[in-house]
């Protein structure tokens, strides 16, 4: 029996594939082109347990039909990670909302059509973006938990690319829970979602370090390459390490206690000042070259914005998450080694 994972080329998905192969699962991954398949299979040493299929564009509702049909009897677990995560568009419906929502609806419909009896568990990579409420995100008296939902509508989320991305994750996750409710007598699978905040950590393969990284790691990349007199960006959010997010996906498909749960993956808040502190303290090669700001005044040292309480998720998962220092230092070290500076 195999694990089917959409968007296997992604930053998070590559770590999931790696951990699945370490646990001796057979994995069927999807990518948008044969060239991407060839590269990833080679990176995984052409492991015979890792096969791949092309799914060109998840915005098409029938995108998964052919591959789910082909492997129907063999798929026990489905991990749906593919979804656009970037802010580089002004056509929010076409580039963010529709692929996110149709990708989720489409893969679940394909399971219903072709693999209703074989797929037992589905895990959707959702996001804190499906939970966030921008109106109270700065309110230090607020506590956000696994029970909260982003209140934006299809229209209101299209204010800018960030809110549109958040809307795309909300509407996609909502579509999954609604699909299961409407089809619970026709499919066998149980559902869980993984809802991470900003995900940092090394690329699964060192050679995938490029001048521009995936959206979340790019924040670290930008600060590694900032100039000493550049201002420190104001962004503040939650952080979690990619290896912990990957582990949570696998536990979500393995553990019965996680059925029906939204796993809010965060290990606390950070802002760019905290990242600058770690880079300045841990990497002498960066000292004097990147901004210093006001050390030890970041979100690791004082409360900024809404509280997030994910004690339920932490106790369900039962493992310790990596610290900000570890995830940022590992991200930066991989970049600096790639550039021959470490």
Is residue 91 involved in binding ligand NDP (CB under 6 A)? Answer: no
Query: How far apart (Å, rounded) are the C-alpha atoms in residues 180 and 101?
Result: 15
CB of 302: closest distance to ligand NDP in angstroms? 23
Query: How far apart (Å, rounded) are the C-alpha atoms in residues 215 and 213?
Result: 6
Query: How far apart (Å, rounded) are the C-alpha atoms in residues 60 and 282?
Result: 46
Is residue 230 involved in binding ligand NDP (CB under 6 A)? Answer: no
Is residue 198 involved in binding ligand NDP (CB under 6 A)? Answer: yes
Query: How far apart (Å, rounded) are the C-alpha atoms in residues 252 and 248?
Result: 6
Pick from 19, 32, 41, 336 the residue near ligand NDP by CB under 6 A. Answer: 32
Is residue 11 involved in binding ligand NDP (CB under 6 A)? Answer: yes
Pick from 18, 29, 84, 106 the residue near ligand NDP by CB under 6 A. Answer: 84
Pick from 25, 64, 85, 179 the residue near ligand NDP by CB under 6 A. Answer: 85
* Sheet of strand 50-54: strand arrangement: 50-54, 26-31, 2-6, 75-80, 121-125, 190-196, 262-265
Is residue 9 involved in binding ligand NDP (CB under 6 A)? Answer: yes
CB closer to ligand NDP, 85 vs 280: 85
In the numeric block, the tokens 């895990």 are attached to: 123
CB of 9: closest distance to ligand NDP in angstroms? 4
Is residue 169 involved in binding ligand NDP (CB under 6 A)? Answer: yes
**Residue 188 designated active-site:** no
Q: Which of 26, 76, 169, 269 is catalytic?
A: 169
Structure tokens at 24: 């001796």
Strands of 151-249, DSSP E? 190-196, 198-200, 236-241
Structure tokens at 142: 């607020």
Query: How far apart (Å, rounded) are the C-alpha atoms in residues 211 and 225?
Result: 10
**DSSP category for residue 290:** S
CB closer to ligand NDP, 118 vs 209: 209
Pick from 110, 216, 273, 300 the residue near ligand NDP by CB under 6 A. Answer: 216
Question: Mapping DSSP to helix (H, G, I), strand (E, B) and coil, where does residue 332 land?
Answer: helix
Is residue 39 involved in binding ligand NDP (CB under 6 A)? Answer: no
Is residue 316 involved in binding ligand NDP (CB under 6 A)? Answer: no
Residues that bind ligand NDP (CB under 6 A): 7, 9-13, 32, 36, 57-59, 81-85, 99, 125, 127, 169, 196, 198-199, 214, 216
- Residues classed as catalytic: 169
């Amino acid at each position: 029996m195999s694990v089917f994972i959409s968007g296997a080329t992604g930053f998070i998905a590559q770590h999931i594939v790696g951990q699945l192969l370490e646990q001796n699962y057979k994995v069927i991954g999807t990518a948008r082109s044969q060239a991407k398949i060839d590269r990833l299979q080679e990176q995984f040493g052409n492991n015979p347990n890792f096969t791949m299929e092309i799914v060109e564009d998840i915005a098409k509702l029938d995108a998964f039909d052919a591959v789910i049909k082909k492997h129907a009897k063999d798929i026990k677990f489905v991990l749906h990670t593919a979804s656009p995560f970037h802010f580089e568009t002004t056509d929010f419906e076409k580039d963010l909302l529709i692929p996110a929502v149709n990708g989720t609806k489409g893969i679940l419909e394909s399971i219903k059509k072709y693999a209703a009896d074989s797929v037992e568990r589905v895990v959707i990579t959702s996001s804190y973006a499906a939970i966030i409420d921008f109106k109270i995100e700065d309110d230090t008296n607020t506590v956000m938990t696994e029970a909260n939902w982003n209140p934006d509508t299809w229209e209101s989320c299209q204010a800018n690319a960030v809110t549109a991305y958040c809307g795309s994750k909300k509407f996609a996750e909502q579509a999954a829970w609604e699909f299961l409710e409407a089809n619970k007598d026709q499919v066998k699978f149980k559902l869980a979602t993984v809802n991470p905040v900003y995900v940092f950590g090394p690329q699964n393969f060192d050679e995938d370090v490029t001048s521009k990284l995936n959206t979340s790691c790019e924040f670290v990349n930008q600060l590694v390459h900032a100039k000493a007199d550049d201002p420190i960006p104001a962004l503040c959010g939650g952080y979690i390490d990619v290896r912990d997010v990957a582990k949570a996906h696998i536990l979500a498909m393995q553990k019965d206690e996680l059925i029906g749960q939204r796993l809010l993956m965060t290990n606390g808040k950070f802002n760019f000042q905290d990242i600058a502190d770690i880079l300045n303290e841990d990497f002498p090669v960066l000292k004097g070259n990147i901004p210093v700001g006001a050390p030890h005044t970041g979100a690791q040292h004082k409360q900024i914005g809404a509280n997030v309480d994910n004690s339920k998720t932490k106790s369900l998962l039962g493992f310790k998450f990596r610290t900000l220092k570890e995830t940022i230092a590992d991200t930066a070290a991989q970049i600096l080694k790639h550039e021959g500076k470490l």
